[in-house]
Structure 1
Amino acid sequence: MNMDSRGDQEEKSHSLHVTFGFALSGIVSAVRNERNMKIHLFISVMVVVLGAVLTLTRLEWLFILLAIGGMLAAEMMNTAVERTVDLCTKEIHPLAKQAKDIAAGAVLIYAIMCVMIGLIIFIPKISRLIHL
């Protein structure tokens, strides 16, 4: 599935706003079609609301935003790997399974890291509220 030089040239000739349009189309597609992306977005909104209520510091917001952005990006990359594997083979193949499982594993690792970041940031703040 190699792209010939003409295909490379066509892709390079797109203007910047057109390539941003492609990226936005990918985001919209992931949000509309991927259950896990919807779950991540829902949790992200809840975390942002909780962060606003608990008045996070600028540094805490940086960690939260990096966690959210990374999680959404990881989920989209996982989806891209799954789609590419599905496009390349319709057969059940051990390497296809490995590719999908490894991509899903990367998302799981990042999700665990996000939970840990959230716990480190939110538990002390919630604990202080409870003990007031």
Structure 2
Amino acid sequence: MEENPHKGVTGLRRVWLATGYSLDGLAVAYRGEAAFRQLVWLAAVLIPVALILPLDAISRALLIGSVLLSLIIELLNSAIEAAIDRISLERHPLSKASKDMGSAAQLIGLIMIAVVWGLVLLG
């Protein structure tokens, strides 16, 4: 098996490079994925609301965590879609299943936002 030359970087240089790759990933997702942009704007509204509401720390963490988790899910969903599209743009049942499962994960993430926010605010 061929060794990846990028895996030998360690220490602070690895942290620095990883941070750059992460920021690149966020930029690519924001520019290229409408769903991610929508979630970023939703987070830009909901997170400050969660910080302003008179709540205990656990409730606040649940509200913010549910929003951040949905952003994570969308990044993973977009990564799955990009990998599938890189392999082939041909319609294939396994490609469809992969993309549909990523979408289903995001649907569950959005339902979680609604449930958590509903329970915290109405409970």
State the TM-score, normalized to the length of structure 1: 0.82
Q: 1:89 & 1:31 partners in 2: Cα distance?
A: 23
SS in 1 for 2:73: helix
Task: Flag as ranges the 4+ runs of structure 1 deviating above 3 A.
Answer: none
> How far has the Cα of 1:52 moved from its partner?
3.3
Residues 16-70 of structure 1: CA deviation (Å, up to 9, x unaligned) = 2112111111011111221111111111122123223322221111112221221
SS in 1 for 2:90: coil
How many residue pairs are counted as aligned between the two chains? 119
Residue matched to 1:27: 26
Residue matched to 2:98: 99
User: For structure 2, which runs of at least 5 residues remain unmatched after alignment?
Assistant: none
Instruction: Calculate the aligned-residue CA RMSD, in Å.
Output: 1.5
Residue matched to 2:2: 5
Paired AA for residue 103 in structure 1: G
Q: 1:52 & 1:69 partners in 2: Cα distance?
A: 14
> How far has the Cα of 1:71 moved from its partner?
0.6
Residue matched to 1:71: 70
% same residue? 23
Q: 1:21 & 1:30 partners in 2: Cα distance?
A: 14
User: For structure 1, which runs of at least 5 residues remain unmatched after alignment?
Assistant: 125-132
Q: 1:33 & 1:55 partners in 2: Cα distance?
A: 36
Structure with larger Rg:
1
Q: 1:33 & 1:90 partners in 2: Cα distance?
A: 17
Residue matched to 1:81: 80
SS in 1 for 2:77: helix
Residue matched to 1:40: 39
SS in 1 for 2:55: coil
State the TM-score, normalized to the length of structure 2: 0.87
Residue matched to 1:121: 120
1:60 matches 2:59: yes
